[in-house]
Amino acid sequence: MAPDNALDALLHENRRFPPPAELAAAANAQPDIYDRAAKDRLQLWEEMARRLDWDQPWDQVLDWQLPYAKWFVGGKLNASVNCLDRHVAAGRGGKVAFHWVGDGERDHRDLTYAELHREVCKAANALTELGVKAGDRVAIYMPMIPETVVAMLACARIGAPHTVVFCGFSAEALRGRILDCDCQVVITVDGQYRRGAPTPVKAAVDEALLECPNVRHTLVVRRTGGDVDWDAGRDVWWHDVVDGQSDQHQAEAFDAEHPLYIMYTSGTTARPKGILHTTGGYLTHVSATHHYVFDLKPDTDVYWCAADIGWVTGHSYIVYGPLANGATSLMYEGTPHPGDKDRWWKLIDRYKVSILYTAPTTIRTLMKWGAQELEPYDLSTLRVLGSVGEPINPEAWVWYHTYVGGGRCPVVDTWWQTETGGIMITPLPGVTTAKPGAAMRPFPGVSADVVDNEGKSVPNGSGGLLVLTEPWPGMLRGIWGDDERYRQTYWSRFPDAYFAGDGAKRDEDGDLWLLGRVDDVMNVSGHRISTTEIEHALVGHPSVAEAAVVGASDPTTGQAIVAFVTVRGSVAEDEAGGEQLVESLRNHVASTIGPIAKPRQIMITPDLPKTRSGKIMRRLLRDIAENRELGDVTTLLDPTVTEMIRDRMTLGAED
């Protein structure tokens, strides 16, 4: 292994990382794929769609009425059949779909494609018995356990769009999502394990449902065996209604544009957006990108996407992409934590993982714990490494490549969003000569550009805003119940291009570097969190008059949440009074949104910096939070305010 100063050498040499010859020679994507895309991108997408099984072929590839796209028009298919039945029918039923590993050491379970198929058929029959029909929405509020995948595929099988809500979200956040898309059934668990300890989950569902009169049933998986309150008219145990069902289920083929799922994501207002994905185009996009970007060889690879199913990465690259491709995956319930620093390396060694897909924040955490943690383990099975969720800094990229990948594995830095459904900008492991920190090129068939404020393409060597200039199969089909917001958010900034909300740079070679959000959305540990949503939560606290939230850069989490608040009336001026209030505000944010939204720091200040027209100048607060020189202050109403806040921050830091 290279000594630490070798990392510096790799960085400072501005090194390029060409694909390893052996991998390149046999890679799923060969260099000509870019030429084929340039010649006829729709034909290439059709070729990718033919990797799936269709009950009825499409008669038109794309119907584009900006901003609404229909892909594979007239085609019919079933997503669950594509993920399961076709592999079983082809004799691959005995192949492992998931090596599932629980949070605790002893918990593990292998599920073959045939077993998963049977479970999904039973769950589909149970949902039908509970009255769920095609088109009905089902909320899933579950941790990383096999039943979560079963629940999703059972919904897909009967054409009921699911909305999976990350299990770390609060009861209030869950309720907002259930109400927004009017779910009638919620699938959940009694509790979940976090770092070995059981914690309740159903209690949050009970609380959420106090104000969701349309929810008829909750279907509850027993995970921890903890005590739960029970509403006999509404709640049913999974083992009571699923286990006894027939394991046969004749799936119906749905229109290519039939809704598959809704995933809520933060935007620039306090209300999350329900991003709608449909069936044929989405499944084409995620299965093709999974095949080409990770160079998946389903017969020999063991693939591990270490995201949570509660986010889009889990939907596309734990569930739909890998299963459509017949992959064998590792699914791990836990997250890295200091009490178990070598867990990841142990898992890679034990399960002979060959493809790893994770977020830069995790890479930086593992990097902080040191390369010595890896040494006892055999990581030589790894051959492709992926990164997603936020810009990866070159230091983390090079560490990942050098220590985790042993210097021999291509690193694919994949840029995409909940809205894009699948990977959009990425290296191809057998083709691209990678640059640490760059997502490089649009995936073949995807059209992206970097433009200035007027929408003009910028020359090489310049920065600007990232736009997508042609529709793509996995694109969102709208925001649930809010067409106007869909147009406003993505299609109003420029007349004929999708506005992604990210800054980007095109370097001298024309390669793309993603620079982070240009709107009020923060990226904390790869989680997308709205500053407005947190401000909204803070002003909902009886003691808060005004709140301003900014994302300050953080060496591990990418960005960290820093809040500035003014209080109503007076707070006990002594330190204990202030500390108590700060703690109660942090807990208030956690219970309104979820623990992931807890601010790292909350400053109670007598005033906030405002312009003469009364707008809070968040830009200056960001400068203060990052301890930088203040930018232009000429429009400030009262310049002494920033000085006062800065003094308080410094005092706080010295404490």
Q: Which is nearer to ligand PRX, 266 or 278 (CB)?
A: 266
Which part of the chain contacts ligand PRX (CB under 6 A), choosing from 21-29, 54-62, 413-421, 604-612? Answer: 413-421
Which part of the chain contacts ligand PRX (CB under 6 A), choosing from 2-10, 374-382, 409-417, 605-613? Answer: 409-417
How far, rounded to the nearest angstrom, does the alpha carbon of residue 83 sit from its chain's CA centroid?
20
**Residue 173 DSSP code:** H
Angle, CA 123 vertex, CA 85 and CA 106 arms, to 5°: 90
Q: Report if residue 517 touches ligand PRX, rule: CB under 6 A.
A: yes
Smallest gap from residue 417 Cβ to ligand PRX (A): 4
- Measured distance between the N- and C-terminal CA atoms of the chain, rounded to whole angstroms: 40
Strands (E) in 579-625, as ranges, are: 601-604
Question: By CB under 6 A, what part of segment 288-327 binds ligand PRX?
Answer: 312-313
CB atoms within 10 A of CB 30: 16
Extract the tokens encoding 633. 């202050």
**Residue of 176, 389, 464, 473 that binds ligand PRX (CB under 6 A):** 389
Q: Report if residue 70 touches ligand PRX, rule: CB under 6 A.
A: no
Between helix 146-157 and helix 113-129 the angle, nearest 10°, is 60
Asked if residues 124 and 235 have their Cβ atoms less than 8 Å apart, the reply is no
Q: Which is nearer to ligand PRX, 74 or 516 (CB)?
A: 516
Q: Which is nearer to ligand PRX, 168 or 326 (CB)?
A: 168
Smallest gap from residue 268 Cβ to ligand PRX (A): 12
Strands (E) in 132-267, as ranges, are: 138-141, 162-164, 185-189, 191-194, 197-200, 217-221, 235-237, 254-255, 259-265
Query: Is residue 112 helix, strand or coil?
Result: strand
Question: By CB under 6 A, what part of segment 347-386 binds ligand PRX?
Answer: none
Q: Report if residue 558 touches ligand PRX, rule: CB under 6 A.
A: no
Question: By CB under 6 A, what part of segment 335-354 binds ligand PRX?
Answer: none
Asked if residues 282 and 474 have their Cβ atoms less than 8 Å apart, the reply is yes
Which part of the chain contacts ligand PRX (CB under 6 A), choosing from 36-44, 245-253, 494-502, 537-545? Answer: 494-502
Phi–psi pair at 561, nearest 5 degrees: -85, 125
Smallest gap from residue 388 Cβ to ligand PRX (A): 5
Q: Which residues contact 249 (CB under 8 A, 6 or more apart)?
A: 120, 121, 122, 124, 125, 157
Smallest gap from residue 54 Cβ to ligand PRX (A): 27
Residue among 274, 273, 287 nearest 316 (CA): 287
Phi–psi pair at 461, nearest 5 degrees: 90, 5
**Residue of 413, 449, 520, 623 that binds ligand PRX (CB under 6 A):** 413
Asked if residues 564 and 635 have their Cβ atoms less than 8 Å apart, the reply is no
Cis peptide leading into residue 67 (ω within 30°): yes
Q: Report if residue 445 touches ligand PRX, rule: CB under 6 A.
A: no
Q: Report if residue 551 touches ligand PRX, rule: CB under 6 A.
A: no
Angle, CA 575 vertex, CA 573 and CA 578 arms, to 5°: 70
**Residue of 159, 168, 334, 391 that binds ligand PRX (CB under 6 A):** 391
Smallest gap from residue 119 Cβ to ligand PRX (A): 27
**Residue of 82, 163, 170, 265 that binds ligand PRX (CB under 6 A):** 265
Query: Is residue 177 helix, strand or coil?
Result: helix
**Residue of 245, 284, 414, 432 that binds ligand PRX (CB under 6 A):** 414
Q: Which is nearer to ligand PRX, 62 or 164 (CB)?
A: 164
- CA dist 499 and 469 (Å) reads 9
Smallest gap from residue 413 Cβ to ligand PRX (A): 5
For ligand PRX (CB under 6 A), the number of binding residues is 22
Smallest gap from residue 370 Cβ to ligand PRX (A): 25
**Residue of 166, 292, 415, 490 that binds ligand PRX (CB under 6 A):** 415
Binding footprint of ligand PRX on the chain (CB under 6 A): 265, 312-313, 388-391, 413-418, 439, 500-502, 514, 516-517, 523, 528
